[in-house]
Structure 1
Amino acid sequence: MMTQVEAINGVIFDLDGTLVSSELDFSLIKAQIGCPCEQDLLDFIAQLPSAYMREEAMNIVHQHELLDAQHATILPGVSEAIAQLDAKKIPMAIVTRNFDKAAAIKLQNNPLPISTVLTRSDAPAKPDPSALNAIATLWDISPANILYVGDYLYDIQAAHNANMRACLYAPDIAPAYADQADYILHNFYELVGLVESYSKKVALC
């Protein structure tokens, strides 16, 4: 039986923990705003009963994100991989749960040849697929031909919700949910080879 494997014609990246370092302490942030450990932070804030409470909670999150942005550094292998993909004219974008100012600082301090950046200020946060879908439309590329690379469960879920392939970046021990990803990247230097292996539609037996 022959199965058609779709080419990878575009790559979308998560930001924190994927392209740049992040030291955000979500346990501390949740404790400061009263969010239960097991609940998603942004969902909790959205459900707070008053606009004032939502604003105050989000201000705390922003303070942590802006502080983290000042210290973010580009992760090993990222610059080289991005440069190689850029040389091959592979469209690239970033979708992050960061807010716009923090993401802008991180990318200003760690320049990459990626101009399309969507944050939670632009579209609903992952695992909602809206931002990923918007980029597929912008590029006029089928979601099946786009790879999403991230380091967390929400990245896998967002990719699959957008009908894209999910690549989990797991440089250390792979998490329990790693088996939900289509690919696992242990080293960023492996990314170019992965994309190249699907540069043409390949028929597999």
Structure 2
Amino acid sequence: MNLDGVHGVIFDLDGTLVESRLDFVKMRADVGCPPDDDILGFVEGLTCLTTQAQARQVILQHELDDAQTSRWLTNGKAMVEKAQDAGLPMAIVTRNCQQATRIKIHNNQIPIDTILTREDAPPKPDPTALLMVAKQWNLHPRHCLYVGDFIYDRHAAENAGMQWLMV
């Protein structure tokens, strides 16, 4: 991870800092989401509020089950330690819910306090959460590095005008 010109590092959570065993095929099937659709966007688009609430509960249960077994990824821990050693502020921006995110952070003792979930801002690839962190740090987005493992992470960073690293 090259930190030249970087004044703050924002990490994705699942697949970047911690392992995730979320089965998105099963999750999509459980909520009736077509295989190629974004599951969060699909649920938001449901017009029946009861069906939408049920779908959200299904996703929540999948995330909570996954949170119980999530462990540090070796590379993720090394990247956090490198940012710490460089004295850089760090944040996490995740599409996860707050409850599952808190469990993962607590169980793995992840030393990052600034955390934004899908309850705090529109989910990635929307850049809002990344821009909120840059603003909180009083940094221009180009001086921030977003580290993730999925195409939504890259798109969010590009949409925010940030440097990005895919792991």
Fold-level match, TM-score > 0.5? yes
2: CA distance, partners of 1:17 / 1:85: 18
| 1:79 Cα offset (Å) | 2.6
| Per-residue deviation, residues 152-178 of structure 1 (Å, max 9, x unmatched) | 000000001101011101xxxxxxxxx
Unaligned runs of 5+ in 2: none
Partner residue of 1:77? 75
- 2:86 alignment counterpart: 88
Instruction: Identify the residue that residue 109 of structure 1 maps to in structure 2.
Output: 107
- Residues 95 and 131 in structure 1, CA contact (< 8 A), matched pair in contact too: yes
Q: Which residue of 1 aligns with 2:17?
A: 19
Confirm or deny: 8 A CA contact 1:13 1:93 kept in the other structure: yes
Q: What RMSD, in angstroms, separates the aligned Cα atoms of the two structures?
A: 1.0
Secondary structure class of the residue paired with 1:147? strand
Residue 119 of structure 1 aligns to which amino acid in structure 2?
A: T
Rg (Cα) greater in structure: 1
Q: 3-state SS of the aligned residue for 2:82?
A: helix
Structure 1's consecutive aligned runs of 4 or more residues displaced over 4 angstroms after TM superposition are none
**Identity between Structure 1 and Structure 2 (%):** 46
Normalised by the length of structure 2, the TM-score is: 0.95
Residue by residue, what CA displacement relative to the aligned partner does 1:87-120 show, whole Å, maximum 9, x if unpaired? 3211110000000000000000011221100000
- Matched length: 164
Taking the aligned partners of 2:103 and 2:63, their CA distance within structure 1 comes to 10
Does the residue aligned with 2:15 lie in a helix, a strand or coil? coil
Q: By percentage of residues, which structure has more helix? A: 2
* Gaps in structure 1 of 5+ consecutive residues: 1-5, 170-205
Aligned-partner residue type, residue 119 of structure 2: S
Cα distance in 2 between the residues matched to 1:102 and 1:29: 15
Q: TM-score, normalised by structure 1?
A: 0.78
3-state SS of 2:63 partner: helix
Q: Is the 2:17–2:75 contact (alpha carbons within 8 Å) kept by the matching residues of 1?
A: no
- How far apart, in 2, do the equivalents of 1:127 and 1:166 lie? 13
Instruction: Read off the aligned partner of 1:95 and give its amino acid letter.
Output: V
C-alpha distance in 2 between matches for 1:40 and 1:97: 11
Residues 37-69 of structure 1 deviation map (CA, whole Å, 9 limit, x = unaligned): 010000100010121111000000000000000
